[in-house]
């Protein structure tokens, strides 16, 4: 079983559109949406939910007003400025428990925090695991680890060949949690100066964690000079640019219809995504 994650650094380069199409192209697979902040893959795969689980993670401090003598020690020591006027700001509280340990009146308790939920579902392309992180919650990295673990369990049980993972933007906690230990990270970029900057950082994070990388340039014809620059850079790093997808509003049309673009059209966008999938298979076979 091989795990492939699609990331981008910069948001909105087309990760989810591509993962949905790979889901339609791959034969034996489980899909997992690791963008737990703003999960969108389910909108294209039209899942039928099988199971919903609450995700409890971390703690928040709670002050018992009757016991509190307003000595102020907790406020002085909290490094997250989460206690003001003897009240806990649950959005700023990082659940460290420092206040709980030092309160001389034992007026503070740490309460477990419901920070989201995750789902297993059936789609016509195969099983999907996805999650919804609660608004303004922490621990997205742990929720990513949870959905990946579930996807692996399903993949093992059903004996499928691939796990296709839709990753989050950025390079921080949920991204690190999404890429650790995968067989391949496909980085989707766009030929804009922002895209190039963010691609460099996404490649660096993958290299930092020893994750093999492949690159796909979306909307490559938006700026062909920039696309060439990306290709040259990738070449110098020994990274394969597996496909160059042209700019075409057919992608948005398919999205509005709720379909993976490879099922909506067979134009050059679909051909390039098909080529990407073949390159992925080739690269994984040679490993």
Partner 1 sequence: MIIAVASGKGGTGKTLVATSLALSLENKKPVQLLDCDVEEPNAYIFIKPSFSHKETVTIPIPQLVEKRCTYCGKCAEVCAYNAIAVFLKIVLIFPELCHGCGACSYLCPEDALSEVNKEVGILEIGCSKGIEFIQGELTIGEAMAPPVIKEVKRHINQEKLIIIDVAPGISCPVVEAVKGSDFCLLVTEPTPFGLNDLALAVDMVNKLNIPCGVVINRDGAGDSKVEEYCRKEGIPVLLRIPLDIEIARLYSRGITLVEGIPQWQEAFLSLYNDIEQIAHQTQG
Answer for which of 173, 250, 281, 284 binds partner 1 (CB under 8 A) is: 173
What distance in Å separates the CA atoms of residue 255 and residue 258, rounded to the nearest whole number? 5
Q: Are 129 and 147 in contact (CB under 8 A)?
A: yes
Cα 154 from Cα 165, distance rounded (Å): 14
For position 11 contacting partner 1 by CB under 8 A, the verdict is yes
3-class DSSP state of 167: coil
DSSP-derived pairing of the beta strands 108-123 and 126-133: antiparallel
Q: Which stretch binds partner 1 (CB under 8 A): 49-57, 122-130, 134-142, 156-164?
A: 134-142
- Do the beta carbons of residue 45 and residue 20 sit within 8 Å? yes
Q: Which is nearer to partner 1, 126 or 174 (CB)?
A: 174
SS3 content of the chain, % helix, strand, coil (to 5): 40, 25, 35
**37 touches partner 1 by CB under 8 A:** yes
Q: Is 252 in the site for partner 1 (CB under 8 A)?
A: yes
Q: Which residues of 146-166 are buried (b: 16+ CB within 10 A; e: fewer)?
A: bbbebbbebbeeeebebbbbb
Q: Which stretch binds partner 1 (CB under 8 A): 45-53, 64-72, 155-163, 165-173?
A: 165-173
- Specify the residue, 226 or 283, whose C-beta has the smaller distance to partner 1: 226
Backbone angles phi, psi at 262, to 5 degrees: -65, -20
CA nearest neighbour of 43 among 250, 252, 255, 251: 255
Going through 124-267 in order, the beta strands assigned E by DSSP cover 126-133, 162-166, 184-189, 213-218, 240-245
When asked if residue 86 is in the footprint of partner 1 (CB under 8 A), the reply is no
By CB under 8 A, tell whether 246 contacts partner 1. no
Angle (CA) 260 124 127, round 5°: 105
Nearer to partner 1, 127 or 168 (CB): 168
Q: Is 80 in the site for partner 1 (CB under 8 A)?
A: yes
Among 57, 113, 226, 270, binds partner 1 (CB under 8 A): 226
Residue 282 CB, shortest distance to partner 1, in Å, is: 29
5, 6, 131, 171: which one contacts partner 1 (CB under 8 A)? 171
User: How would you class 229 by CB atoms within 10 Å of its CB: exposed for 0-12, middle for 13-18, buried for 19 or more?
Assistant: middle
Site for partner 1 in 87-126 (CB under 8 A): 91-92, 94-98, 101-102
- Closest of 53, 55, 5, 11 to residue 29, by C-alpha: 5
Number of chain positions touching partner 1 (CB under 8 A): 65
CB of 249 to partner 1, least distance (A): 6
Tell me which of 48, 76, 106, 136 binds partner 1, using CB under 8 A: 136
Q: Is 137 in the site for partner 1 (CB under 8 A)?
A: yes
Binding of residue 43 to partner 1 (CB under 8 A): yes
With tokens 């993670």, the residue in question is 57
154 binds partner 1 (CB under 8 A): no
Residues near partner 1, by CB under 8 A? 8-13, 16, 36-38, 40, 43, 58-59, 77, 79-80, 91-92, 94-98, 101-102, 133, 135-138, 140-141, 168-176, 190-195, 197-198, 201, 204-205, 208-209, 219, 222-223, 226, 247, 249, 252, 255-256, 258
């Amino acid at each position: 079983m091989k795990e492939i994650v699609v990331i981008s650094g910069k948001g909105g380069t087309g990760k989810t559109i591509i993962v949905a199409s790979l889901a339609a192209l791959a034969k034996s697979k489980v899909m997992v949406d690791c963008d737990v902040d703003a999960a969108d893959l389910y909108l294209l795969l039209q899942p039928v939910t099988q199971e919903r689980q609450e995700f409890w993670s971390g703690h928040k401090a709670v002050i018992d007003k009757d016991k509190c003598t307003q000595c102020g020690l907790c406020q002085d020591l909290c490094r997250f400025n989460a206690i003001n006027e003897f009240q806990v700001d649950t959005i700023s509280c990082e659940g460290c428990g420092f206040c709980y340990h030092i309160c001389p009146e034992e007026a503070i308790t740490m309460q477990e925090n419901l920070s989201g939920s995750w789902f297993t579902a059936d789609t016509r392309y195969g099983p999907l695991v996805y999650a919804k992180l609660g608004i303004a919650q922490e621990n997205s990295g742990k929720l990513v680890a949870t959905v990946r673990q579930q996807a692996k369990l399903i993949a093992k049980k059903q004996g499928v060949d691939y796990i296709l993972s839709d990753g989050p933007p950025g390079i921080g906690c949920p991204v690190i949690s999404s890429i650790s230990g995968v067989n391949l990270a496909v980085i989707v970029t766009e030929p804009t100066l922002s895209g190039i900057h963010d691609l460099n950082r996404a490649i660096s994070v993958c290299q930092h964690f020893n994750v093999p990388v492949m690159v796909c340039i979306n909307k490559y014809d938006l700026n062909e000079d920039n696309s060439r620059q990306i290709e040259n850079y990738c070449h110098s790093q020994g990274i394969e640019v597996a496909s160059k997808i042209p700019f075409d509003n057919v992608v948005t049309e398919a999205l509005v219809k709720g379909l993976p673009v490879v099922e909506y059209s067979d134009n050059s966008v679909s051909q390039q995504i098909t080529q990407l999938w073949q390159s992925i298979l080739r690269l994984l076979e040679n490993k």
